[in-house]
Amino acid sequence: MAGPPAAWVVRFAPLVPAGAPVLDLACGRGRHGRLFLDRGHPVTFVDRDLSAVADLADRPAATLIEADLEDGSAWPVPGRRFGGVVVTNYLHRPLMPALIDAVAAEGVLIYETFADGNARFGRPSCVDFLLRRGELLGLLGDSLSTVAFEDGEVAVPRPAIVQRIVAVAPARTPVAIPPA
């Protein structure tokens, strides 16, 4: 069972343009991708183990991509842009430029993961998997416009220290290059 989607994702899901494709990165059991499938979006599920979303293989709107995001392999969705990119409970800093680039013009990035101080509540506790204070804002730079940002302690679904952000991409109208 996938479990309920994170309240942060549910709250900001309506910002994803209707019918736009969604990327559920490090999807796990697919709770967020399932939310977007139910909302009428085609969803690409990416994880190193897809067994927890194998039941979606026959759904035409679901694309399953098995990929280890940390082994140095190529970005699993090269050149694709999504109206929504969702990442929760996962951090691999080298992916951030590709994640930002994957957000289509007027698309939305919804990101939530653990932050420094979470060790007092359990896992993750390794600093490699915890954002530093305000780090998520810095990782986005000026590429996307922040809609909402939180950095602190939460009680639900369990006590944790998290950072979460929702950011939108400006319209990416290509500039016409004059003929030589």
Domain assignment present for residue 180? The answer is no
Name the domain count of the chain. 1
Domain assignment present for residue 178? The answer is no
Residue 168: pLDDT above 70? yes
Domain assignment present for residue 1? The answer is no
Q: How far is Cα 13 from Cα 166, in angstroms, rounded to an integer?
A: 10
Domain assignment present for residue 55? The answer is yes
Domain assignment present for residue 99? The answer is yes
Residue type present at position 28: G
Residue 161 banded pLDDT, cuts 50, 70, 90: confident
Q: Are 36 and 61 in contact, with CB atoms under 8 Å apart?
A: no
Cβ atoms within 10 Å of 71's Cβ, excluding its own: 7
Q: How far is Cα 36 from Cα 106, in angstroms, rounded to an integer?
A: 17
Which residues touch 174 (CB under 8 Å, ≥6 apart)?
A: none
pLDDT on residue 20 = 97
Q: Are 165 and 111 in contact, with CB atoms under 8 Å apart?
A: yes
Specify the DSSP class assigned to residue 3.
-
**CATH at 161:** 3.40.50.150
pLDDT on residue 40 = 97
Cβ atoms within 10 Å of 74's Cβ, excluding its own: 8
Give this prediction's pTM. Answer: 0.89
Give the residue carrying structure tokens 């392999």. Answer: 73
> Tens digits of per-residue pLDDT, 106-152?
899 999 987 776 667 767 666 767 767 888 778 887 889 888 888 87
Longest Cα separation, the chain? 61
Give 120: exposed, middle or buried? Use CB within 10 Å, 0-12, 13-18, 19+.
Answer: exposed
Residue 172: pLDDT above 70? no
Segments forming the whole domain that contains residue 125 = 7-168
Domain assignment present for residue 176? The answer is no
Q: Are 150 and 144 in contact, with CB atoms under 8 Å apart?
A: no
pLDDT on residue 27 = 96
> Are β-strands 160-168 and 103-114 bridged in parallel, bridged antiparallel, or unpaired?
antiparallel
Domain assignment present for residue 83? The answer is yes
Would you state the structure tokens that stand for residue 83, as one six-digit string? 């109206």
Domain assignment present for residue 173? The answer is no
